[in-house]
Structures are given as C-alpha cells and as structure tokens.
C-alpha cells in the first residue's frame, strides 16, 4: 500500500475492496485530520501500529476483512471520537484491550471473526451509546456480562460461543429496544424471561444450543414483529401455546417439550422436526420394529447421480429454509436445517459450482447444502449394526489467489451419532490450503436405534462475510453409508447396475457356464475317495490357500466375510445334476477327464469335472491347472491374485483385498518379475521387501524392468507409490479402486506413504519363520503372498 504526500487537512481516505497487499504505511498515521478511514476488504498484513493513536479526530474506522495480525493495540482507546469501529475478519490475537472502554461515543462495534480471545473487559460497561455489537466467532471466554443490560440503546446484539463460563438472561430485563438477539451456544442456563413479550421490536431471536429450562413463554409467540425463533437444543419443557402470531420460522427441536402439538404446528414443517427426531421418536416406531434399509447415499443439493463406483446418490435438491425438516420420498433419509444467514434478504441454502474437481465423480462436488448454524442428515429405517460413513466436501466459496476473497475461513464441527468426531473442521485446510479440491472423510458409526445422525454444527468459528455476507457454516456435497455387516434387509440400492468391486469369492456362479468351485469340490471328493494320498486337512489347506471357499456378500457386491470350508455336494447329487454324467451334458474333455454341465435343485448352473482314475493327477498338476484356469477370460470367471494380510494372518477377508492384489501386480508390471524369485540375491527375493528397500534409499528407478529402454521416471515413481499404498497392512489405509485409478491418471495427488507395513517389519525381524518351499499359508505369507480370486483386472506377465 503506497501513500502519496497529503496535507494535514485531508479528512477522509477510502481504499475499499481493491486487493491492496502488504502492511499499512506509517505515513498514514501522520494524517491527523482524518475522520474517516476505510481499508475494508483488502489483504493488508502485519500488526496494527500503535501510531494509530495520532488519529484523535477519527470517527469512522474500518479495518475489517484483511489479514492484520498481532494484538489489538491499546492505543485505539485514544480515538475518543469514534462512533464506528470494525476490526472483524482479521488474524488478531490476545484479548480486547480494556482501553476500548474509553470510546464512550461508540455506536457500532464489529469484532466478529477477529481472532481475539479472553473475557469481555468490564470497562465496556461505559459504552452505553452502543446500538450494534457483533462479537461472534472468536475465542471469547467467561460469562455474558450483566452490564450489557445497561446498553439500553442496543438494537442488534450477536455474541456466541463463549466458553468456560455460565450465563443467564437476567440482563435482558430492560433491553426492549432489541431487534436482533443472537446468543447461541453460550452455556446459558435458567429460564426465558417472562417479560419477553414486551420486546415488540424483536424480529430474530436465537437462543439455541444452551441449557435453558422451564416453559416457553406464551407471549413469545404473540410478538407481531418476530419472524425467526430458534430455541432448539435446550432443556425446555411444557407445551407449545394453542395460538401464535404469523411466525413461520420456528425451531424447538431437541428439547423436552410435550409431544402433543397444537393445531398450527401440525400444518408446518416444524411439526415433523418436533415429533420425529428427538428421543421419543413417535413417528419412527414402525421403522424400529421393522427396519427396511441397510444403506443410503445422498447428493446434497443436487440431482440423483450414479457414481463411478456405481453408488446411486439420491437427489437432495429441495429448498431448505431457516427452520426446515425434509424427508425423502423413499423414507430412507431426511435432512434438517436451522439458522439464518447474517444480513441476507434472500438467503440461499444450496451452493453450485461449474468447476471440475480432482475426482472421478466431479459432478457430486458441484452442489452442496450449506447452513448458517445446524445441518443434520438422518439415515432412516436402518438395520442396526456398524456402518462405514463417507462424507464428501469441496470448498468453492473462496478463491485460491491471495486476495481478500481468499481470506475467508469456513469452520464447523462434525458429529456422528451425537459424538464429536472432527472439531474445527475446515474444508480448505483439509485440502492442503486450496479451494476447489475434493475432500472425503470416512467414519465408522454404530446404529442401535434404526437411524443414523450426521450433524454439521457451526460453533461460531471462521469468517462470516468473505467474499459476501453469509459465507460461513457447514457445507457438504455428498453422504454415503454402507453396512459393515451382512444385511438381512434392503435391496441393491447403492451398488447400481453392477457390482461395486467385481470380487466373487468361490461361490457357485448362478448363471455361469463354468464353475471353478464345483470343479474343486468334486476334485477334493474324488481325491479322498480314490486314495491319492491327500488327507482332509491337507486338501482343505490347499483349498484355503486358493480361496476356493464360500464368500459372504453384502448387497452392493462388497465382500464382508467368509467361512473356512467350501460347499460340499454329494456324489449322488452331482450325478443327478448331470443326469448321471450324460454325454449330452458334456461340455468338453481335458487331459485329466471330461467336464459336464449340471443344474442344482436351486437352479444354479454348474460345471463338474469327472476325474479319470487313471490320470493320477498330482499336486503339481493341481496347482498348474488352477493357474491355467485363472488365466481364462470369461465374464463369469474371476481372477486369481495375491492374498491380503488380514486373510493370510487372521482369516479375515475385507473389501480392500482386491486393492492389495492390484498393488502387488502393479509392482510386478513395473519390475518385470514375479513377486517371489529365489534365483535373485537374498535382499531381492521378495518384491515388496525389495521395493521398500529401494524407496527408503531414494532408488526407486532400480526397480524398473531392465528391458525397458525408455520410460517416464515420474510416472514410474507414481505407480510405485500407489502400489505401496495399496499394499498397506490395514485395509482402512488402502485407497479404494476408483481413487487408485484417479491417482494413477494424475487426477488427484498420491497420498503420502510414510513407513513399511507391519507384516514386512515382522518378517525382517525373523525371516526364517516365513520361509517355506511348500504350499502357501499364513505362516509363509511374505515368501509367497498366497493367491486368492481377484476381479476387475487381469495379471500381465
């Protein structure tokens, strides 16, 4: 910011919304005749100089919406002619200086989102000419001072989110000139004053998220000017009055009011909010006794969309308002909003951006539901159990370029089932400090009463007015919840037209022409009957090594768990299904016997291989035939891949097992070698171990297949980093396959991989315990990384 030489008679200076950067020049403080200084909406940085004390004639001082830092100088208290002072939306620190109590002519004081902390100074008791005070979104502590009751001229008071103190509303007794009163989330206890009916000018009252008790005064509903009433999340009791004024925007949810509603409430959206979601839940009785669903997905603020992973996100483009409850036509989910955006005549609760985002499902991020206070989503009629919840966000309100429009901060808290899971969550910060970037946060939640609650709550933090008034509070683009158990209700809702993962593990394919399961079951049966020297445990060990076992699926196709033994079918049943191995059902013949088509009693079509007694097919041939079958390309056959550690070591198979297999295959492609090669020197035998070794020594290029004469080093490193992410020990640490694709294509950044997975660390501490020369098992996991069925991609040799 530059200053030209100006005479001392210069009385007004306005530099508003010009994106001026840098510090405030010292020359400015020499203009002692200034009465009006407007520096609002720039990107001014650095401290506010104590030399501001020179401007003793100042009446109007606007420093809001900048990036000023340091403590608010006490010298401001010398500007005793000030009537208007704004220091809002800055990066100040420390407490409000008591010297501001000297500004007895002050009429309008704005210090919201300024960064100040501590208690409101008792010297402010002298500021009895105040008409407007905005003090929300700070780190203020203590109680609401009783002396505020002496600010008799006050028409607009906004103080929220005080901590470490308890307040009451006794100070309001004589403040009948109030037009707007916002005291949300201040730990206020006691009752609502009975003389509230005398506040005839009151148009907006927000006392939500406090500890108020007692009844709601009937006179409150008779105020002719009152348009917005927010009393939710208190401990209010009693009933609602039989009559009320034309008041339309009411929220009294999450109190202890009687469930009996007056007739006027039955015709408003408030009725549903009052009766459906609190603990009494009268309208959810039928859903609790007979839950209907086991998942839900919502495109917040937008139309129905089917994602790249085939999840169907239901539309959520209903118009929300200051106190709204909306329930989807499917009765699968609902949304409620409470709050009124500051100083907006036509507030909008949905945002839209035409930008493209760093995700396969960019359209999902182009809309969002936003709220100035409390935004709740409910999954309704859910089967009880554990759920995996994904919340998707993108900040679109703030620019990335350094300017006052990029200085905004959207900060809110996230609650799942009433538990605080993310405090002071900021989308832009979560995205690495940039806007227009997709952010997904995953949580695990337990449903015990057939509904899931996701609550986004503005606790008064962040800016309120950048780049425009009302830019603050929760914003969310998409929600999905899927069960982490085997559901018994619901239909294939989130999976769309096809399986999300394509992973089918060892179950007879209902309409398949070839069934690997039946072949292996019959093979086991024949081996045992014909005395080929394999006992039951050895056979089951071989079957388990290749995951030819019964898989359990949830409705969207994701694998949840598995039994330890395959389906067994009697020889008599096999004969019946193939019509006693009728030549008419013969599909073909191999070196070890013919294959017949059969139909089980439940309608499943299977293929049965009849082994020749004379074939004497041994273990090596058995393995070889499995390897051959794994290479067959057919829509009803899945592939073999590498077994993830959770199954090899714990016997648990998860939906991320496929991701692990992909990671190993990706490394094989880069290196041009198999996962295990005993012909190499010891440190290179096991591919994963060798990969971590070269990465930790910044020598990733040594991993590349020596036969490749030309390649892009950055692309190679990207593939290696993605592969290492895919092969992490914990399934939760592995990315989803759509995210893998996005990282490989460069649409999104590759997440950081910080340390070796635990199974490699354990193996390095005792290599011998994992060495083997026989069939893969949990104990020799690193040596062979046992194979399992792998869908959705094919192995490249």
Q: What is the CATH number of the domain that holds 672?
A: 1.10.510.10
d(CA 81, CA 58): 6
Least confident range from 212-226, 246-260, 429-443, 710-724: namely: 246-260
CATH number at residue 416: 2.60.120.430
Lowest-pLDDT choice from 250-259, 324-333, 647-656, 726-735: 647-656
Q: Find the length of the chain.
A: 797
Tokens of 105: 């002519």
Q: Are residues 656 and 617 in the same domain?
A: no
Q: Is residue 285 part of a domain?
A: no
Radius of gyration of the chain (CA): 34
pLDDT, tens digit (0-9, with 9 covering 90-100), for 605-620: 777 877 655 554 554 5
Question: Across residues 113-141, what is the average pLDDT?
Answer: 95
Q: What is the pLDDT averaged over residues 746-751?
A: 82
Classify residue 613: in a domain, yes or no. Answer: yes
CB distance 227 to 246 below 8 Å: no
Q: Looking at residue 624, which CATH number applies to its domain?
A: 3.30.200.20
Assess contact for 540 and 565: CB atoms under 8 A: yes
**Domain edge (last residue) among 253, 270, 287:** 270
Mean pLDDT of 136-154: 93
What does the pLDDT read at residue 767?
A: 41
Question: Please, which pLDDT band fits residue 678 given cuts at 50, 70 and 90?
Answer: confident
| pLDDT for 345 | 66
User: What pLDDT digit, counting tens, does each position of 200-232 carry?
Assistant: 999 999 999 999 999 999 889 888 899 889 998
Residue 738 in this model has a pLDDT that exceeds 90: no
Query: Which has more confidence, 675 or 313?
Result: 313
Q: Is residue 3 part of a domain?
A: no
674 burial type by CB count under 10 A (0-12 exposed, 13-18 middle, 19+ buried): exposed
Q: DSSP assignment, residue 485?
A: S
Structure tokens at 537: 């445990």
Least confident range of 30-34, 171-175, 576-580: 576-580
Distance CA 593, CA 578 (A): 15
pLDDT confidence tier of residue 529, bands split at 50, 70 and 90: very low
Q: Of 422, 452, 483, which closes a domain?
A: 483
Whether 131 is in a domain gets the answer yes
Q: What is the C-alpha to C-alpha distance for residues 545 and 623, in angstroms, rounded to an integer? A: 11
pLDDT for residue 313: 96
DSSP state of 477: -
Q: Give the phi and the psi of residue 734 in degrees, each rounded to 5.
A: -85, 145
Integer Cα distance of 74 and 67 in angstroms? 19
Residue 520 falls inside a structural domain = no
Statement to judge: residues 238 and 327 lie in one domain:
no
Query: What pLDDT score was predicted for residue 178?
Result: 96
Please report which confidence band the pLDDT of residue 661 belongs to, taking 50, 70 and 90 as the band edges. Answer: confident
Residue 300 confidence (pLDDT) above 70? yes
Residue 706's region, left for phi above 0, alpha for psi from -120 to 50, else beta, is alpha
Per-residue pLDDT band at 628 (split at 50, 70, 90)? low
What is the pLDDT at residue 298?
97
- Indicate the pLDDT class of residue 493, thresholds 50, 70 and 90: low
* Residue 621 pLDDT grade (very low, low, confident, very high; cuts 50, 70, 90): low
* Beta carbons within 10 angstroms of residue 583's beta carbon: 8
Q: What is the mean pLDDT of residues 105-127?
A: 96
Q: Are residues 159 and 202 in the same domain?
A: yes
Burial 320-356 (b: 16+ CB within 10 A, else e): bbbbbbbbbeeebbbbbbbbbbbeeeebebbbebeee
One domain for residues 146 and 244: yes
Confidence of residue 749 (pLDDT cuts 50, 70, 90): confident
CATH number (domain holding residue 197): 3.80.10.10
Average pLDDT over residues 631-651: 56
User: Of 741, 759, 777, which closes a domain?
Assistant: 759
Q: Are 364 and 313 in contact (CB under 8 A)?
A: yes
* pLDDT tens digits along 72-114: 999 999 999 999 999 999 999 999 999 999 999 999 999 998 9
More confident residue, 431 or 544: 431
State whether the Cα torsion 297-300-303-308 is positive or negative: negative
Count of domains for the chain: 4
Residue 746 tokens read as: 């460069």
Q: Inform me whether the pLDDT recorded for 584 exceeds 90.
A: no
Q: Which helix (H) or strand (E) holds 624?
A: helix 619-630
Residue 665 burial (10 A CB sphere; 0-12, 13-18, 19+): buried
- At 328 the three-state DSSP class reads coil
Which segment of 83-97, 150-164, 367-381, 566-580 scores lowest on mean pLDDT? 566-580
Residue 441 binned pLDDT confidence (cut-offs 50, 70, 90):
very high
In a domain, 438, yes or no: yes
Locate 651 and state its tokens: 């016997």
Residue 408 domain-assigned (yes or no): yes
Over 70: is that where the pLDDT of 409 sits? yes
Indicate whether 321 and 430 sit together in one domain.
Answer: yes
Single out the residue of 249, 278, 292, 508 nearest to residue 376, CA to CA.
278
List pLDDT tens digits, range 183-203. Answer: 999 999 999 999 998 999 999
What DSSP state is assigned to residue 629? H
**Contact call for residues 198 and 217 (beta carbons, < 8 A):** no
Is it the case that residue 140 has pLDDT exceeding 50? yes
Tens digits of per-residue pLDDT, 48-66? 999 999 999 999 999 999 9
Q: Are 14 and 36 in contact (CB under 8 A)?
A: yes
Structural tokens at position 156: 């607009």
Check whether residue 197 and residue 301 sit in a common domain.
no
Residues 172 and 85 in one domain: yes
pLDDT > 70? residue 522: no
Q: Is the pTM of this model over 0.85?
A: no
Instruction: Over range 404-428, report the average pLDDT.
Output: 92
Question: Do 243 and 311 fall within a single domain?
Answer: no
Kindly state whether residues 595 and 651 are assigned to the same domain.
no
- Percentage of residues of the chain with pLDDT beyond 70: 74
What is the predicted pLDDT for the residue at 705? 92
For residue 461, count other CB atoms closer than 10 A to its CB. 22
Is residue 544 included in any domain, yes or no?
no
User: Which range, 142-146, 160-164, 276-280, is most confident?
Assistant: 142-146
Residue 467, preceding peptide bond in cis (omega within 30° of 0): yes
- Cα 459–chain centre separation: 18
CA–CA gap between residue 364 and residue 676 (Å, rounded): 42
pLDDT of residue 354: 86
Sheet containing 323-327, strands listed edge to edge, beginning at the edge strand earlier in sequence: 323-327, 333-338, 374-380, 451-457, 411-416, 419-426
Mean pLDDT of all residues in the chain? 78
pLDDT of residue 343: 65
584, 680: one domain:
no
Mean pLDDT over 455-474 rounds to 84
Q: Over 70: is that where the pLDDT of 704 sits? A: yes
Same domain membership, residue 318 and residue 244: no
Is residue 410 domain-shared with residue 479, that is, in the same domain? yes
**Which domain covers residue 61, as residue numbers?**
12-270
């Amino acid at each position: 910011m530059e200053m030209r030489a100006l005479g001392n008679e210069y009385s007004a200076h306005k530099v508003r919304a010009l994106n001026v950067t840098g510090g405030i020049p010292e020359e400015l403080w020499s203009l002692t005749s200034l009465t009006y200084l407007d520096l609002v909406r720039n990107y001014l940085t650095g401290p506010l100089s104590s030399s501001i004390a020179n401007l003793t004639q100042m009446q109007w001082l606007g420093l809001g919406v900048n990036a000023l830092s340091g403590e608010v100088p006490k010298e401001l208290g010398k500007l005793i002619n000030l009537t208007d002072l704004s220091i809002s939306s800055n990066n100040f620190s420390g407490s409000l200086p008591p010297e501001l109590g000297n500004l007895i002519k002050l009429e309008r004081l704005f210090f919201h989102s300024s960064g100040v902390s501590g208690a409101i100074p008792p010297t402010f008791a002298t500021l009895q000419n105040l008409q407007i005070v905005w003090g929300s979104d700070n780190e203020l502590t203590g109680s609401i001072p009783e002396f505020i009751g002496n600010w008799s001229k006050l028409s607009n008071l906004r103080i929220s989110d005080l901590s470490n103190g308890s307040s009451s509303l006794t100070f309001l007794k004589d403040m009948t000139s109030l037009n707007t009163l916002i005291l949300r989330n201040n730990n206020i206890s006691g009752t609502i004053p009975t003389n509230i009916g005398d506040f005839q000018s009151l148009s907006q009252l927000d006392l939500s998220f406090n500890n108020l008790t007692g009844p709601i005064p009937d006179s409150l509903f008779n105020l002719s000017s009152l348009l917005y009433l927010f009393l939710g999340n208190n401990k209010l009791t009693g009933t609602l009055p039989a009559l009320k004024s034309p008041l339309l925007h009411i929220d009294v949810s999450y109190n202890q009011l009687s469930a009996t509603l007056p007739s006027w409430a039955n015709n408003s959206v408030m009725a549903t909010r009052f009766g459906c979601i609190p603990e009494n839940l009268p309208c959810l009785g039928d859903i609790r006794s007979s839950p209907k669903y086991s998942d839900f997905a919502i495109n917040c603020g937008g139309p129905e969309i089917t994602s790249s992973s085939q999840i169907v996100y239901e539309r959520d483009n209903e118009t929300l308002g200051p106190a709204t409850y909306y329930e989807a036509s499917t009765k699968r989910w609902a949304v409620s909003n409470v709050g009124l955006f500051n100083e907006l005549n036509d507030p909008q609760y949905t945002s839209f951006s035409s930008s493209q985002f760093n995700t396969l499902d960019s359209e999902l991020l182009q809309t969002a539901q936003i709220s100035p206070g409390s935004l709740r989503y409910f999954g309704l009629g859910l089967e009880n159990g554990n759920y995996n919840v994904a919340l998707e966000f993108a900040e679109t309100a703030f620019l990335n370029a350094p300017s006052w429009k990029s200085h905004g901060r959207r900060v809110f808290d996230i609650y799942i089932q009433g538990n605080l899971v993310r405090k002071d969550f900021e989308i832009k910060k979560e995205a690495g400090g940039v806007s227009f970037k997709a952010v997904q946060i995953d949580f695990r939640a337990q449903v015990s009463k057939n509904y899931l609650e996701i609550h986004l709550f503005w606790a008064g933090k962040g800016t309120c007015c950048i780049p425009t008034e009302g830019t603050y509070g929760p914003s969310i683009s998409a929600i999905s919840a899927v069960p982490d158990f085997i559901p018994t209700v619901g239909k294939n809702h989130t999976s769309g037209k096809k399986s999300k993962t394509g992973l089918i593990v060892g179950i007879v394919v209902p309409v398949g022409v070839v069934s690997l399961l039946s072949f292996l079951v019959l093979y086991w049966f024949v081996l045992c009957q014909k005395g080929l020297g394999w006992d039951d445990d050895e056979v089951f060990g071989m079957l388990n090594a290749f995951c030819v076992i019964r898989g359990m699926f949830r409705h969207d196709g994701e694998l949840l768990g598995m039994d330890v033994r395959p389906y067994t079918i009697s020889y008599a049943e096999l004969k019946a299904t193939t019509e006693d191995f009728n030549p008419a059902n013969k599909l073909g013949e191999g070196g070890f016997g013919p294959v017949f088509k059969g139909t089980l009693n439940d309608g499943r079509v299977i293929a049965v291989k009849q082994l020749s007694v004379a074939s004497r097919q041994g273990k090596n041939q058995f393995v070889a035939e499995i390897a051959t079958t794994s290479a067959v390309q057919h829509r009803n056959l899945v592939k073999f891949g590498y077994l993830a550690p959770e199954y090899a070591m714990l016997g648990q198979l998860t939906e991320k097992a496929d991701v692990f297999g992909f990671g190993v295959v990706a490394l094989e492609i880069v290196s041009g070698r198999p996962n295990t090669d005993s012909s190499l020197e010891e440190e290179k035998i096991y591919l994963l171990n060798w990969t971590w070794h070269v990465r930790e020594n910044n020598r990733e290029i040594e991993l590349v297949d020596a036969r490749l004469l030309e390649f892009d080093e950055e692309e190679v490193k990207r593939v290696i980093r993605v592969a290492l992410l895919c092969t992490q020990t914990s399934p939760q640490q592995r990315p989803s396959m759509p995210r893998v694709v996005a990282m490989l294509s460069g649409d999104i950044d590759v997440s950081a991989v910080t340390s070796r997975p635990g199974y490699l660390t354990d193996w390095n501490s005792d290599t011998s315990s994992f060495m083997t020369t026989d069939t893969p098992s949990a104990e020799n996991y690193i040596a062979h990384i046992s194979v399992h069925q792998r869908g959705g991609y094919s192995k490249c040799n």
